[in-house]
Amino acid sequence: MKSKKNQNFFDKVYKVVAKIPYGKVTTYGDIAEACGTRGAARTVGWAINGASVAGLPCHRVVNRFGALTGRLHFGDPDLMEDMLLSEGIEFDEDGCVIMEKYLWKPKSFRTRKKSKKKVRK
């Protein structure tokens, strides 16, 4: 059972993943940073592993080197690569996404503080 804190973090992860543009990828670490916790890249992976059937473009999340570390969670180990190739994403000779060309950096979540209205007397 997830704690409320983890659920809130997972919800942020899902919102970021939903925004990854067609033909782009982002990293677990960049998603964690956008959610406010740069060191939580593994937690992002856990969140995504449980959401691959939720209609989110989880295939667009790769590791920091562009490797398809989540490929086994798609049932067919070639499906993630096939989905990225169908979006025009290219790979280098090591089978990693060419990050210089296809990396998308998500914007950070900002906590909005309620502004206090000044009361005039």
Listed residue (89, 22, 73) closest to 81, CA to CA: 89
Task: Give catalytic residues, as residue numbers.
Answer: 58
> Which of 31, 39, 35, 40 has its CA nearest to residue 58?
31
Domain boundaries, the chain: 4-102
Q: What is the DSSP string of 20-41?
A: PPTT-BEEHHHHHHHTT-TT-H
pLDDT for 29-46, tens place per residue? Answer: 999 999 998 899 999 999
Q: Which residue has the higher pLDDT, 6 or 23?
A: 23
Report domain 4-102's class.
mainly alpha
pLDDT tens figures, 56-110: 999 999 999 999 998 888 888 899 999 999 999 999 999 999 999 999 999 987 6
What whole-number distance in Å separates Cα of residue 114 and Cα of residue 5? 21
Between vectors from CA 90 to CA 101 and to CA 12, what angle results, nearest 5°? Answer: 65
CB 37 within 8 A of CB 111: no
pLDDT at 2 > cutoff 70: no
Query: Taking the C-alpha atoms of 75, 81, 85 and 90 in order, what is their torsion angle to the nearest 10 degrees?
Result: 170
